[in-house]
Structure 1
């Protein structure tokens, strides 16, 4: 039944003392001692917001174009929604230059604990130069900034899609949740950058036979791009019963990023490169992106079973890999050009899927 919503997993709300202990963790530096009375007042306000569940303390009417124009929507979500509309307009502008979103999936950089650039970042630089030489606008998204920038974060996906697809809003409406101190979510900006791009090139290392956590966070939060609901008023915000009923009535599972081209470059030192590359390509295929050919789907080892300390030197000497990265960028550039000129489409564009999900 559509209203068969299973509950009972979540723990109860925090007690006042435990809330205060968690709140004060961010102010353990003795330099804050002189501001304790001010912090106590801020903590009291934060506690009241938590008690009342003020997820979106600032809202306005949804307005025309929504199922319920009078529904009060978060101004944060509306701002992201409007930014995505603008990004889609830029993407669709035939007179605008071609744009590639170039993603560095490593968490490592010289501004945080490792004290050194990542090899992914160096490979990204090779690809960026090749794309710019082809006349492309390159938007570099360096996910390592989550480890080196103050307050830079991507919150985890809450899995709304598995309750019902329409409960997973496009863009994601789970954040910010001000009452739970779940604010400052970088994905609001990242969604816009994906939408504006004509092509996407991901460069990543392997961490334990998988992608690094910074890249996986972004991947999971892009689930709303594959079937997500652009109208939170249709589900009354986060009403699971309404979302289930809406899905069961017949949901189209719109693919909001379909038709963009992609390339993937994966590198490792002992194992996991092929499986990681396949997983990334499978994910992008599923979302309706179009692969840019065999040379744009690359997995290679750098310094195979050699010390980590000399891995940059190993990359210095691998001229073949550097050229393969240039080839991947060139292949992506070519396919983006063909797609924008209307000379290429997805091979299965005219086929009807027998399974909607």
Structure 2
């Protein structure tokens, strides 16, 4: 029976700033005394930013959706339309039978010698071992998504998920349309570059440390923003943008929850110092399975400790000495490679079963 959508629940306090607070916050990014000679120009820019904020100009540049959308006359953000086109091109590369096998290695550590820690991460080193495996095979293309860039590169951001999906699945657009939000200064979001990297890949390998019993914060930011890939709405005109009431009704009228990344294979490597590696590995693997990605094989999912209860200062030395984990990571990459090779040939492959483990017990 048809079900009428309930109204969206309201009642949280408003986050709207008054003008003095907004101006103080906006101008705080120009604290460097080198900006003092430009004070009048900054004041004019601040006034424009305030006007965009108070009038809510989230997407100031739009164009009509055009053919292929439920409402061809609806105005969509040019940023979103460009992101959609990049995903469509990535999907075409993924589907090209004559193209290479495409692998994506994700370094999920936030540590880098290019910022405060002053030293590379072990995740990066393990990713290099995996890269050698993929790049050494014929007919492959390998990309590296280095999430440590969030902490070390100017203008690299992954804004948090706004949880549109929890209001109604069709309100969560594929790709995400929550960003950029120019009125709130929520710009320079990386995800529109990251989505096509996932879409074009046949095999995805995530390598992450354990941070306080959990995955790293850069990885968690990306994971949350991948929700639109799992049931998200590829047509924002269905919901007239972010109309929560309409989105609820669209879902209740029948929603097919499209799995935009289904069928891609994955490997997961989690390394820790003291505790939590198994739980983090399981949570990441479960998440990928829930999105209908396929585990390449048992040897493609790995959780280990490097320098267990040893000083952090010597952790890289511990990795140097641990030849077993180095080979296990290579085996995880080899398993993913075999799985993708079998899939490309249209054959079921029990990937990794012929690889000898460096640890029997």
Q: Shared fold (TM-score greater than 0.5)?
A: yes
Asked if the contact 2:338/2:349 (under 8 Å) is kept, the reply is no
Q: Write the deviation string for residues 100-139 of structure 1: whole angstroms up to 9, x where unpaired.
A: 1100000000001000000000000000011111132111
Residue 87 (structure 2) aligns with: 84
> Which one of 290, 295, 298 corresponds to residue 294 of structure 2?
290
Aligned match of 1:305: 309
Corresponding position: 1:241 with 2:268? no
Q: How far does residue 32 in structure 1 lie from its aligned partner after superposition?
A: 0.7
2:215 paired residue number: 211
Shift of the alpha carbon at 1:10? 4.2
Task: Measure how far apart 1:339 and its partner are.
Answer: 1.3
Structure 1 contact 3–242 (Cα < 8 Å) conserved: no
Helix, strand or coil at the partner of 2:70: coil
Q: Is the 8 A contact 1:259 1:345 kept in 2?
A: no
For 2:179 and 2:348, the matched residues in 1 are separated by 37
Deviating 4+ runs (over 2 angstroms): none
Aligned 8 A contact 1:292 1:331 in 2: yes
Query: Match for residue 8 of structure 1?
Result: 11
Equivalent residue, structure 2, for 1:35: 38
Contact 1:67-1:234 within 8 A present in 2 as well: yes
The Cα offsets for residues 51-96 of structure 1, whole Å up to 9 and x where unpaired, read as 1100000000000000000000000000000110000000000000
- Hey, what does 2:65 align to over in structure 1? 62
The alignment status of 1:106 with 2:109, answered yes or no, reads yes
CA distance in 2, matches of 1:59, 1:345: 47
Instruction: Please state if 1:73 is matched with 2:82.
Output: no
Q: Encode CA deviations 1:154-201: one digit per residue, 9 max, x unaligned.
A: 000000000000000000000000000001100000001000100100
**Counterpart-to-counterpart distance in 2, 1:319 and 1:345:** 27
Task: Calculate the TM-score normalised by the size of structure 2.
Answer: 0.95
Give, in angstroms, the shift of residue 345 of structure 1.
Answer: 9.0
Q: Which whole-Å deviations, capped at 9, do the CAs of 1:28-56 have from their partners, x for residues lacking one? A: 11111111100000000000000110000
Task: For 1:199-278, list aligned pairs within 5 A.
Answer: 199-278=203-282
Q: Structure 1 10/258 Cα, relative in aligned 2: closer, same or farther at 3 Å?
A: farther
